[in-house]
Structure 1
Amino acid sequence: MRRSPTAGFALVLLLTACQPALNWRESRPAGSGAVAQFPCKPEVAQRQGMGLAQCEAGGSGFALSWADTPDPTQAGAALKAMAQALAGKLGQPLPPPQPLQVPGMTPLPEAAQHRLTGAAGVTRIAVFAHGGRVYQAVMTAPQDDPVAWDSFVTGLRVEPAR
């Protein structure tokens, strides 16, 4: 059976349409003590005791930030403050927390994830800690993308100090 050239072109278009827009890869941002799955190569910026890894892909932004608290017993309060500060910046109340488990994190009741919706789109946030280091993972998107968020959050882990 002979195929027409347009049938081959249509097959290529169909296969291209099935390709995911996000190319997930493991990243170990220098100085973070964490491993994350990003859908793009993140740019990393650091200052004394804090850092940020971020990138944009498929119309969404992904970021992982970290900071050291002066007193590890204040990590829980810092997590709560981080989530509240982001909600305040977006002009929204902080919604009820959803559970969060990140391998290697210190179990704290303030470790959680939140979904914020507004006119500009959806912002998802996860906050967790390891000892006195606090982490914030954020995804911003014009529309909610639970699959991308799940991929981002389940790709997080804290590595033991070497």
Structure 2
Amino acid sequence: MNHVTKGCAAALTGVALAACSPALDWRQVRPEDAGIEALFPCKPLTHARTVPLAGQPTRMMLHACSRGGLTFALTHAELQDPARVTPALGELRAAAAANLDGTERVVGAMQVPGMTPNPQALRLEVQGRRPDGSPLVQQVALFTKGTRVYQASVIGTRLPQEAVDSFFTGLRLL
């Protein structure tokens, strides 16, 4: 899990530092081989990394962009083994809080049409801080379809609820 935490934190921090324009220009994005359509407010960059997840090296894909001081990200991984799905969601949940050295609050169950029901499919809010100690907040959505796990997140100093809701309700499994 440490590699998941460090890898995701580094990628999100790098993308977060690139934030500039306050205008949100929403667009539908269908990342290749992701099985999902997402509504992003800017054109996401894609990064791939192999990390240990649920006991095995796993290729994770990250699609992220920053706009208006917020970073929007969608991470997904194909696990190929149903027994790894719930542990992987739990590890992603723990990493979300660890990435910000923060505390989590469960906002509620996450529902995406077509998802596979799972008790770890949740929407969370993490109150944490950047490495320099300044405050940071993140909302995270964890869900799955079959043996693919997903994590969608919005991170910033302050999260406008309208932007967070637009991002999460714009998720559509294919």
Q: Specify whether residues 144 and 116 from structure 1 end up closer, same or farther in structure 2 by C-alpha distance, changes over 3 A only.
A: same
Structure 2, unaligned stretches of length 5 or more? Answer: 1-21, 51-58, 129-133
Considering fraction of residues, name the structure with more strand: 2
Shift of 1:97: 4.8
Q: Is the 8 A contact 1:79 1:127 kept in 2?
A: yes
C-alpha deviation, 1:150, in angstroms: 0.2
Q: Percent identity?
A: 41
Q: How high is the TM-score relative to the length of structure 1?
A: 0.79
CA distance in 2, matches of 1:21, 1:120: 23
> Is 2:163 aligned against 1:148?
yes
Equivalenced residue count is 140
Q: Which residue of 2 aligns with 1:35?
A: 37
Q: Structure 2 matches for 1:104-119, cutoff 5 A? A: 104-118=114-128, 119=134
**TM-score where L is the length of structure 2:** 0.74
Rounded to whole Å, the distance in 2 between the matches of 1:26 and 1:139 is: 16
**Contact 2:100 / 2:136 at 8 angstroms: preserved in 1?**
no
1:122 and 2:137 aligned: yes
**1:21, distance to aligned residue in structure 2 (A):** 2.0
Question: Based on CA coordinates, which of the two structures has the bigger radius of gyration?
Answer: 1
Post-superposition CA distance 1:56-108 (Å, at most 9, x none): 11110000010112411321221121011120121123323511111121111
Which stretch of the first structure deviates more once superposed, 70-79 or 131-140?
Answer: 70-79
Specify which of 28, 51, 66 is matched with residue 56 of structure 1.
66
Q: List structure 1 segments (4+ residues) > 4 angstroms apart after TM superposition.
A: none
Q: CA RMSD in A?
A: 1.7
Q: Is the 8 A contact 2:82 2:146 kept in 1?
A: yes
Aligned 8 A contact 1:69 1:75 in 2: yes
CA deviation after TM superposition for structure 1 residue 45, in Å: 2.6
For 1:44, the equivalent position in structure 2 comes to: 46
Q: What pairs up with 1:90-105 in 2 under 5 angstroms?
A: 90-105=100-115
* Counterpart-to-counterpart distance in 1, 2:100 and 2:49: 25
State the Cα distance separating 1:129 from its structure 2 match: 0.5
